[in-house]
Amino acid sequence: MQYNSKEVEERIKKKWETEKIPEKIINRKEGKKFYLLDGPPYVNASPHVGHIKTTTYKDVWGKFKFMQGFKVWFQPGFDCGGLPIENKVEKKFGIREKKDIYKIGIDKFIEECKKFAIGNEKEWMDMYKKIGAWRGYLAPYLTSENYYRESGWWAVKKIYEKGLLVPGEKPNFWCPHCETVLSGYEVTDAYRELKSPSIFITFKIKDKSEYLLVWTTTPWTLPANVALCVHPNEKYVKVETKGKKIIIAEKRLKFLDELSLQYKILDKFEGKKLDGLKYEPLLDIPLQKELEKTNNAHRIILSIPLMKKRVAGKIKEKKEVEGSDEFGHLVDISTGTGIVHIAPGHGAEDYTIGEYYGLPSPSPVDEQGKLKEETGIFKNLKIDEANKQISDYLESKDLLFYKTELMHSYPVCWRCKTPLIYRKSRQWFLKLGPLKKKILEEINSVKWLPDFVKEQYSNLVQNSPDWSIVRQRFWGIPLPIWICKKCKSLKIISSREELRKKSIEDLPEDFDISVSVVDNIHLKCECGGEMERESGIMDVWFDSGIAPFASLGYPFKNKDLFESLWHVDLIDESQDQIRGWFNSLMICGISIFGEAPYKTICTNGWTLDEKGEKMSKSLGNVIWAKDAYEEIGADVLRLHLCSTNAPWESLNFSLREAKIIKNNLNTLYNLVSFVKSYFKDSNKIIDIKELPDLWLLSKINSLVKEITEDMENFRFHHATRKTINFIINDFSRIYIKLVRDRAESEEVREVMLYTLKKVLKLLAPFAPFLSEDLYSGLFEKSVHLESWPKVDEDKINKDLEEKFEIGKEISGAINSERQKQNIRLRLPIK
């Protein structure tokens, strides 16, 4: 018979719905709890095979744990807020700038975001059902729902009360298009090769006809120049070239050589000799004139060692050594000129050294990335325009020594792909310094699969700055902070009920927690003034970071349920979530509850195309889930995703290779049909004596033992391969061949039924449709309501298994020789 996957899957799906199998699983009352938290994907596009891989892994965990007797909580969830949705709506309305949102109305914009956020929810849920994932039968949590956002307000207040949420003003990544701050983890993977100006400029030393040669790739930051920095212990030289006396690091004279310039060395000295030397402002603009009035601007400062990287205390996977902090001077003598332009308002390291020396930190760039009024002739210029005009200005003043362009890796917005800038702005920060020790302790209590992820995450935590936790946008959890316009005191609101009580306006009980609503709500301050809401929404990573409790509406509802589920037992997501969701979950867990929110983390590798290329719409190589499902079916798709390689390795997805799996399932289908042809009801206790029977009983129990361990340790690739190999080779090719002449015997029938009962259970988490079809056909029960197979230790005979392995090797060698001599397999050996 030919296995028809589509017919089987449609029939079994109807059977599940008719017999309410998912409902029975969801409503299990007995058993120890197992909280499998779904990392909420965005549903602003259709799912592709990468999404289905992660969904399959999570579903495998759920099915496996249920069969082990656990009461599994596996509610699906969807991320609905933030820039991914806003950018899509902007595109729909042709919005080019943030101010255009105000023109169409924030309330209308938010309403469109809401529609768009849940627009594809049905498609995703339908796909979950099609691939046999139980989560498709549960109502999902949505991060845009009021119950979820209210939990977020409660969490913000908890964090604030612990002194961890503080306002501050320092430079951060900023997107000029989205007009919002971004955090470093949103930028890590968002780099592109872009062309930037590369200019060498001369700063005139005060009261001397001598110049300091400086290199920069960001001319737009020169209006904010406050100091120049040199390495204290490196040698510098004064040379005469191109009619000027310039100072440059001795090791960077090669730059002049590369330009084929003639020069004469006039003096040589250590960098520390330049300390405190004053220079003239480079640009004739109001900001630079104001800085000139201060005592500590426009002077040379000495570079200090800055921590470049902190390495985790113990690197078990590579070598047993104590970790250490890696330091390096701000001035890198291997590039540029050895003299660095310092603009504390436009760079993280610049800001750090500026704090060290007590320097001012102007940041004369507005939210749209345009230079401000204080930049004089450069005001209102965008970054690219400013780069050009400032370069032209310096050239006209004979201060431009050399200019060119270079291609380098540059950070862009993770959503709109606009090049980012560093810009100082007032933000709310979640302080990580006080939490790091506790986080590092909790990391050791978590099981990491694979275990090398622990090292990666530990290093990430050690090097993480404070979390800029608010975004200057509209669609998300509104920041629940109200500030008095008169005395500047603040109130943190933790619930809708609290806001209703303290609001000047009358509010309905079910008012919407959205920016367009809460911005019109005011509070009365104790000083008699009026309080208005601080603008901004919570970072979307905060939204997903509170999922363990906010998905349940805790603490306002489901209190007992949450407390019975806490902690999350297992999370399974892609490797990029190490610095994304895994991190935000941990930070929120520690800052709110004082402990890690999860027990086990599984990390998945990327899903690439057949050639190993990243899937991209622009390249046209995306394999959509619906297309893969239509072509190969759910069970084949799931098995291909689970068996091709280790879950944490990148998977080159190939429909061509996936189809090979169907042949293996066809073998199983026919094997069961063969067994059915000899099927008879029997309750006899059979005494098994024949070696092939004893061998198969031993093999299946050894297999159960191995696969159970593989499953617990996320080795899905081993579990699937071993199961398929057992079915195809041990059961179908060897055992059936050995017992075909006595297939009607009770012993053989009982051995085959015993074996099939166990092997179909092993297969059930990976191929839920076919295993259900075959199991229910043989035993008239749903395999998914059965227990995970137990190991009958008394049936394991390793000595017998080893002897059969030797026999297989001999048989394999004989068959190989037959092929070489063109002797048909059916002909007997003489």
Looking at the chain, the number of H-run helices and the number of E-run strands are 29, 30
> Which residues does 529 contact at the CB level (< 8 Å), separation at least 6?
484, 485, 486, 487
- Alpha carbons 199 and 268: distance in angstroms, whole number: 25
Side-chain-side CA neighbours of residue 87 (13 Å): 17
Residue with the two structure tokens 């759910």 = 634
Cβ-Cβ contacts under 8 Å for 682 (sequence gap 6 or more): 746, 749, 750
Q: What is the CA radius of gyration of the chain?
A: 33
What residues have CB less than 8 Å from 323, skipping those under 6 apart? 310, 311, 312, 313, 314, 315
Backbone torsions φ then ψ of 579, nearest 5 degrees: -100, 0
Pairing mode of beta strands 530-533, 481-484: antiparallel
Tokens read off for 567: 């902690």
- What is the number of other CB atoms lying within 10 angstroms of the CB of residue 677? 9
| Centroid of chain to Cα 693 | 49
Strands 244-249 and 210-216: parallel
Tokens of 630: 């239509």
Tokens for 170, please give them.
Answer: 């320092």
Instruction: Please tell me the distance from the alpha carbon of residue 372 to that of residue 774, in angstroms, as a whole number.
Output: 72
Distance between start and end Cα atoms, the chain: 35
Residue 387 CA to residue 155 CA, distance in Å, equals 43
Residues marked as catalytic: 40, 79, 541, 577, 581, 614, 617
**In angstroms, rounded to a whole number, what is the distance separating the alpha carbons of residues 591 and 430?**
9
- Residues in contact with 94: Cβ distance below 8 Å, sequence separation at least 6, in sequence order: none
The number of CA neighbours under 13 Å toward the Cβ of 184 is: 12
Task: Note whether 786 and 761 are within 8 A (CB).
Answer: yes
* DSSP structural state of residue 76: -
* Count of other CB atoms within 10 angstroms of residue 490: 14
From residue 713, alpha-carbon distances to 185, 451, 647, 717 in Å are 28, 10, 11, 11
d(CA 558, CA 83) in angstroms, rounded, equals 30
Helix (H, G, I), strand (E, B) or coil at 334: coil
Q: Both tokens of residue 86?
A: 């806003």
For residue 729, what are the contacts with CB-CB under 8 A and spacing of at least 6? none
Helix, strand, coil shares of the chain, percent, nearest 5, are 45, 20, 35
Q: How far apart are CA 830 and CA 614, in angstroms?
A: 56
